[in-house]
Amino acid sequence: PQTKLPKVGTTIFTVMSQLAAEHGAVNLGQGFPDFSAPQRLIDETAKAMRDGLNQYAPMTGVAPLRQAIAQKALDCYGAQVDPDTEITVTSGGTEAIFNAIHAVVRAGEEVIVLDPAYDCYEPAIDLAGARAVHVPLDPQTFAVDWDRVRAAITPKTRMLMVNTPHNPSGAMLNADDMQALADVLRGTDIYLISDEVYEHIIYDGARHESALRYPELRERAFVISSFGKTYHCTGWKIGYAIAPPTMTAEFRKVHQYNTFTTYSPAQYGFAAMIRDEPEHHLELGAFYQSKRDRFREQLLTTRLKPLPVPGGYFQLVDYSAISDLPDHEFVRWLTIEKGVTAIPLSPFYETPPAGQRLVRLCFAKNDATLDAAIERLRAL
């Protein structure tokens, strides 16, 4: 019999992390920091456990955390968000994306995704019995061609998914993009997922264009974020979705029968962390900018060509001066023979651009880790 997800194997992130471990390679593949989460966050989460806060959280998320998220939406994006009817805490951004799709997309409908797209989008669409319609981003700049998006819309289109800052490219939507996005969606009943999990990892004074800033977008958007990226704890799997009340009501129907609730001690930990160190997320851009700049400077001493990194903690590099291998073969060779692990770009595409020779390196790492990688990359 036909399986439900015939195209899906083990995710490229797991495959490459396993290969890195097997060969003792420096792992710049899967996106996760190799430095500690803030001590206060760890202490407050441990304290919640010691204080006995170990049973089910409310289905929607613990109240102090939802209030902190609402305050942040107001402070950062000028958005009034009701913590009781518009915010749901989830087991990571991935659960939130799954819930949002399943809350509103019916079998036979279409969801527009922009390629390269993060790998959890399409399987969630497929499991809803819907179809992902792939619109390519510009192969050089990863900018959105809004005319192509508009042309992809059919009477079956139920949802459009955007991601800014973008994984894997780091590209960011700007204010003109947001206007174009609003123009494309105006007068339709298409929902928007705005995947903003890298919202605070932004550089060079750029502004993160959250869908929450735009009332016209906000009224049809599930805005999704993740604490794992902001607080260096990707293994805790805590994220959230912000959406208008009627959409949130549908979202919660899926959430409550998917995971029901999210690990409660960490929710109290984040609430305390945000209360006591409200500047943490505001300083995150500067923290990662120095890593980005140092890493890029070092890359210039190799034969890899770094592409611009407007946001996020991934660096794309062009390896065409070194090898003509397709990207999935290049990353295996790089791991096994050269001891550095990267992520190929082709798994992010329905149809990868012909001849593209790009791989993704994660620079959310201690200097020593990046130095070790660079030393090996210099030998290429």
- Give the residue with the Cβ less far from ligand GLN, 11 or 85: 11
| 3-class SS of residue 290 | helix
Query: Residue 49 has which token pair?
Result: 């456990």
Distance (Å, whole) CA 324 – CA 341: 18
C-beta of 11 vs 18, nearer to ligand GLN: 11
Q: Residue 40: how many CB atoms within 10 A of its CB?
A: 14
Q: How far is the CB of 237 from ligand GLN (least distance, A)?
A: 10
Residue 61 or 239: the one with the smaller Cβ distance to ligand GLN is 239
Confirm or reject binding of residue 18 to ligand GLN (CB under 6 A). Answer: no
Q: Which is nearer to ligand GLN, 30 or 169 (CB)?
A: 30
Q: Which is nearer to ligand GLN, 91 or 167 (CB)?
A: 167
Query: Contact, 97 vs 124, CB < 8 A?
Result: yes
Q: Give min distance, CB of 350 to ligand GLN, in A.
A: 18
Nearer to ligand GLN among residue 30 and residue 264 (C-beta)? 30
Q: Counting Cβ atoms within 10 Å, is residue 144 exposed (0-12), middle (13-18) or buried (19+)? A: buried
In the complex, minimum distance from the CB of residue 11 to ligand GLN, in angstroms, rounded to a whole number: 5
Tell me whether residue 31 or residue 33 sits nearer to ligand GLN (CB atom). Answer: 31
* Location of structure tokens 């700007």: 174
Pairing of strands 157-163, 110-115: parallel
Least Å from the CB of residue 112 to ligand GLN: 21
- If the CB atoms of residues 111 and 117 are measured against ligand GLN, the closer one turns out to be 117
Cβ of residue 91: shortest distance to ligand GLN, in angstroms? 13
CA 183 → CA 143, 147, 179, distances in Å?
17, 11, 6
* Rounded Cα distance, 266 and 283, in Å: 21
User: 325: Cβ–Cβ under 8 A, 6 or more apart, which residues?
Assistant: 333
Q: Give the span between the Cα atoms of 143 and 348, in whole angstroms.
A: 15
Other Cβ atoms less than 10 A from the Cβ of 286: the count is: 10
Q: Is 13 in the site for ligand GLN (CB under 6 A)?
A: yes
Give the shortest CB-228-to-ligand GLN separation in angstroms.
8
Instruction: Count how many Cα atoms sit within 13 Å of the Cα of residue 276 in the half-sphere of its side chain.
Output: 12
For residues 45 and 65, give the distance between their C-alpha atoms in angstroms, rounded to a whole number.
Answer: 13
Q: Which listed residue (31, 136, 170, 347) binds ligand GLN by CB under 6 A? A: 31
Q: Which one of 11, 18, 85, 356 is in contact with ligand GLN (CB under 6 A)?
A: 11
- Tell me the number of residues near ligand GLN by CB under 6 A: 5
Residue 349 sits in the site that holds ligand GLN (CB under 6 A)? no
Least Å distance, CB 123 to ligand GLN, is: 11
Min. distance of Cβ 30 from ligand GLN in angstroms? 5
Nearer of residues 166 and 357 to ligand GLN, judged by Cβ: 166
CB of 232 within 8 A of CB of 365? no
Give least dist CB 217 to ligand GLN, A: 24
C-beta of 214 vs 313, nearer to ligand GLN: 313
Least Å from the CB of residue 199 to ligand GLN:
14
Alpha-carbon distances of 4 from 8, 108, 111, 123, 126, rounded to whole Å: 9, 15, 18, 9, 8
39-50 and 264-276 are packed helices; what angle lies between their axes, rounded to 10 degrees? 130
Q: Is 30 in the site for ligand GLN (CB under 6 A)?
A: yes
- Write b or e for each residue in 247-278: b if 16 or more Cβ atoms lie within 10 A of its Cβ, otherwise e: bbebbbebbeeebebbbbbbbbbbbbbbeeee
DSSP 202: B
45, 167, 230, 335: residue in contact with ligand GLN (rule CB under 6 A): 167
Residues that bind ligand GLN (CB under 6 A): 11, 13, 30-31, 167
